[in-house]
Structure 1
Amino acid sequence: MPPLPSQRIAIGGFQHETNTFADTPTGWEDFAAADTWPGLLEGAALLTGMTAASSGKPSNIPIAGFIDAALQATTGDAPAPRLIPALWCAAGPSGRVTHDAFERILGRLTASIAEARADAVYLDLHGAMVAQHSDDADGEILARVRAVIGPDIPLVASLDLHANVSEKMMDNADVLIAYRTYPHVDMAATGARAFDWIRRRLDGQPRPHAAWLRVPYLIPLCWQCTDAAPAQGLYALQQALEGQAADSVSFAMGFPAADVDKCGPAVWAYGASAQSAQAAAQRMLEAVNAAESAFSGDILDAREAVARAIGIATSKGGPVVIADAQDNPGAGGSADTTTLLKALVAAGARGAVLGLLVDPPAARAAHAAGTGACLHLSLGGKSGIAGDTPFEAEFVVERLHPGDVVATGSVFSGYQLTLGPSACLLIDDIRVLVISKPVQLLDLALLRFIGIEPAAQSIIAVKSTVHFRADFAPLASAILVCAAPGAFLLDPARLPWSKLPAAIRKAPRRA
């Protein structure tokens, strides 16, 4: 009897989280170059670039988890599936993706998938991409891929927990699978779950019935952490419903900085019948609606945050972590605002560190001057953010680094980070970590690489909103959320909306 043929799965990805209120467009070069993410990978380089390292664990990237699951798959006497790599790329959150970048990348992705003549297709998407000419860029990606593979080829995509999911996305995919954690420690695991759905479809399971329901309010990003209430309980319910009522249930809390019609949270479910999918989605929506008032907490201005941090560090010890949440480069922030730094200096903070502040000219000047040099710098504040200006001061160049860092934490697990020329600058007893490419300070290695031990600090100011909690919460004596000037406003009600439907509340109602 001849051997069974190997099933062919085309794989690819195109990821971006778009802050439409940010002024800086996202171009081809942003997807092609490596920074937090690997640079653009195509063909065989996609497989080698995402294959598990010597640790045996895939990088915490969805497509890496998918590849790892596929390489380990066996089904009776059937051979493992054959992966046909197309194209994968991602760019850090920023403004709309340019027309040129979107069409160039999607054109190459769809051409490769068409040529593959695969039995199934997997896509690693974000779900909150907006292009200059498409408010629902992820929906457009799925529609164009569906057009080249036809109606019967299984198409499964993984999505970020912050996806803004549309009916167009639902209609063009057999199954959409979203992350369940924020901080996103389950990205690779989500890719593996997507592979499980591909395998089910290839084994003959019919396309499941789907139900999609929209949540009527926006959830501020700073209160979306799944390690705390109310999100923690909602995701526990999601998993319970998946075991009892439907084959798959997802809850995406949305990216609340996208002025598009589809912006906002959504729930969806897949089941063997339309009734089971609808019942599970409805139960999930009722729970999310009931939790609306709990998505809230204390947000401090820079002076309040610093004063409270100094008080806590003095009485309880440190480190106290201050989230400079509105200047988070992981949500489209410029990562160069200085208001929180100025507040630390003005208050005479001791044993404090702030990072990661993006200022390539300052980093280059520090490298040119060398360790031990004293420099007068106009640091940061170059993005024109309202209420923020550069910080003029004398700094000592304490340490220098080329900026290639191996991540060690749970979110960036397996990542090779490219920060560009980096410097630790000292002013009074405050250290400022200056880098050349925007990266969230969410991994302890992003302090240790330049000689700073996180646990020894009194105050750590991080340009991050929630992701830092995975690695920093276990050692923090307290965590404070600060709303210093930045491109990512924590309160969606303050944004100048023009396309959000009137029925969607711009912030949760308080109890």
Structure 2
Amino acid sequence: MKIAVGGFQHETNTFAPSKADFQAFAKGGAWPALSRGAEVFEVLAGVNLPCAGFIEEARAGGHQLVPLSWAAATPSAHVTTDAFERIAGQILEDLKAASGLDGLYLDLHGAMVTERHEDGEGELLRRIRDLVGPDLPLVVSLDLHANVTPAMVELSDALVAYRTYPHVDMAVTGGRAYRLLATLMGGRKLAKARRALPFLIPLTSGCSLIEPAQSLYDSLGERESLPGVASLSFSAGFSPADIWHCGPSVVAYGEDPAATARAAAELEQAVLAEEAAFAGTIMSAEQAVAHAIAVSGKARRPVVLADTQDNPGAGGNGDTVGLLAELVRQRAPRAVIGLIFDPVAAERAHAAGEGATLEIGLGAHSGLAGHAPLQGAYRVKKLGDGKFECTGPFYRGARMALGPMALLELGGVEVAVASKKAQLADREMLRHLGVDPEDRGIVAVKSSVHFRADFQPIAEQVVVAAAPGPNPVDHLQLDYRLLRPGVRLMPSGPLSTGPKA
């Protein structure tokens, strides 16, 4: 059969300091740059992304694939109107030119907010349905952190979300989406059921390597194997998105409407039963560094600190220096931190050369209130061009293009600096600068959970640190103004009072 494939991914933190313009998609970075037509197949080959998994399985099934466009940008604040209209326009233009389609697959995130649309995916799907009509089978893969809206469910035939966080199953999810689309193209119809959950889940406690998320996600295969049920997804939601439909949800599909609704309701109750366990605990930067120093002095493996509140994977700019300052203040031995996003510092390091000393203020260029660069005499230890291929489970196959990079040192602490934003979720990001993380006592990463896929196996301990940053773990620190009423801002916490003027 003839299937059109494309993708448009963005995870929008509406509280973040900078927006995603067209160049953010066009230039790429951690993920491939905007591609169109046959180039889509080339840039996604071998990468752990849903569209790559879909393409591989659809080709194995003997189908003819029509590539549209594929685009992704590092999480940030809103997608600009210009970026959304240009990329959505490309997808619609090429879809209009494709004739005789039997199906359509889209690789979306599920938490895109644009300058004009709270529900970016819903708006894109509305335009696509206006073009192709209601009958063309349309399946969408979603991130585990999708804020699934009623429009997304209504305008697609099936939504399929990741089941791991770190997202090591992205390509696998694309394969699951293909199998559902094949079912629909074979003429079978699927009933739908969506249940929205009434509390927000902090990113750090939604990790599928720890409880309660681990058992919930592990149960999905068994739950969807029941008679009459074809697919079941639990999306944890993306909490730093101030929109009406922000929050976790359950979506089910099946040939038996009653069984499908029952599966969704039972999973909803299972999640609600674990609400209190999703609250989690974290340390302050001072506590986390002191703890890491104490543990690393007796351990053979590194302690890994997660600088979660400035995670570029959740909309942070990766340029706050609170945790770095604490590492320096406490004279943390054999410590490295990254990636600090500071293209000016990287440029100056390259101009000065390895071995030079730079008097600079590092980081804090986003203009966040209360943040200032960390002044000091930084020694340039190693330089890199930012081009390398990742090998860890999350970023597997991703061909990085992070611009000029530098390994600096301040007060005995090493600092990995990059010219483009990316969360440190793969050991190759440090190896590119001559750092073997296994040889360090403390490794601090600007990431919330994805780092665990590659770093947890080498870690003595993993500690989440609440250093100052734009993505607070405690949602009570966020000024929600559009969230619907009746949603608990933290597990078992106070309720949202609804939209504010």
Equivalent residue for 1:54?
none
User: Deviation string for 1:221-271 (max 9, x for gaps)?
Assistant: 010100110001111222211112511100000000000001000001011
Candidates 406, 413, 416, aligned match of 1:430: 413
Is residue 35 of structure 1 aligned with residue 29 of structure 2? yes
Cα distance in 2 between the residues matched to 1:385 and 1:320: 29
Is residue 340 of structure 1 aligned with residue 323 of structure 2? yes
Equivalent residue for 1:294?
277
- Structure 1 segments of 4+ aligned residues over 3 angstroms from their partners: none
Query: Does structure 2 conserve the Cα–Cα contact (< 8 Å) formed by 1:385 and 1:485?
Result: no
Query: Does structure 2 conserve the Cα–Cα contact (< 8 Å) formed by 1:312 and 1:318?
Result: no
State the one-letter code of the partner of 1:39.
A
State the one-letter code of the partner of 2:103.
A
Deviation at 1:428, TM superposition (A): 2.9
Deviation at 1:283, TM superposition (A): 0.3
Query: Does structure 2 conserve the Cα–Cα contact (< 8 Å) formed by 1:146 and 1:155?
Result: no
Candidates 55, 60, 63, aligned match of 2:51: 63
Deviation at 1:72, TM superposition (A): 1.1
- Map of 1:101-500 to 2, 5 A cutoff? 101-117=83-99, 118-206=101-189, 208-245=190-227, 246-500=229-483
Answer with 187-196 or 237-246: which moved more: 237-246
Cα distance in 2 between the residues matched to 1:24 and 1:432: 23
Query: Does structure 1 conserve the Cα–Cα contact (< 8 Å) formed by 2:200 and 2:490?
Result: yes
SS in 2 for 1:217: coil
SS in 2 for 1:144: helix
Equivalent residue for 2:499?
none
Query: Does structure 1 conserve the Cα–Cα contact (< 8 Å) formed by 2:425 and 2:447?
Result: yes
Instruction: Classify 1:428/1:318 alpha carbon distance in 2 versus 1 (closer, same or farther; 3 Å).
Output: farther
Query: Does structure 1 conserve the Cα–Cα contact (< 8 Å) formed by 2:279 and 2:490?
Result: no
Query: Does structure 1 conserve the Cα–Cα contact (< 8 Å) formed by 2:31 and 2:72?
Result: yes
Cα distance in 2 between the residues matched to 1:135 and 1:310: 44
Deviation at 1:26, TM superposition (A): 1.1
Query: Does structure 1 conserve the Cα–Cα contact (< 8 Å) formed by 2:405 and 2:418?
Result: yes
Cα distance in 1 between the residues matched to 2:459 and 2:369: 31
Cα distance in 2 between the residues matched to 1:386 and 1:327: 14
Q: TM-score scaled to structure 1, two decimals? A: 0.95
Deviation at 1:505, TM superposition (A): 0.5
State the one-letter code of the partner of 1:195.
Y
Deviation at 1:384, TM superposition (A): 2.3
User: Deviation string for 1:100-143 (max 9, x for gaps)?
Assistant: 11111111111211211211100000000000100011111111
Equivalent residue for 1:77?
none
Query: Does structure 2 conserve the Cα–Cα contact (< 8 Å) formed by 1:12 and 1:85?
Result: yes
Equivalent residue for 1:55?
none
Answer with 59-68 or 501-510: which moved more: 501-510
Query: Does structure 2 conserve the Cα–Cα contact (< 8 Å) formed by 1:387 and 1:485?
Result: no
Cα distance in 2 between the residues matched to 1:191 and 1:297: 30
Deviation at 1:388, TM superposition (A): 2.3
Cα distance in 2 between the residues matched to 1:97 and 1:216: 26
Structure 2 unaligned spans of 5+: 494-501
SS in 1 for 2:41: helix
Answer with 317-326 or 274-283: which moved more: 317-326
Structure 1 unaligned spans of 5+: 1-6, 52-57, 74-79
Counting aligned pairs with the same residue, the percent is 46
Deviation at 1:204, TM superposition (A): 2.1
SS in 1 for 2:58: helix
Cα distance in 2 between the residues matched to 1:253 and 1:43: 32
Aligned length: 491
User: Deviation string for 1:46-90 (max 9, x for gaps)?
Assistant: 122223xxxxxx3101101111111111xxxxxx11000111101
Q: TM-score scaled to structure 2, two decimals? A: 0.97
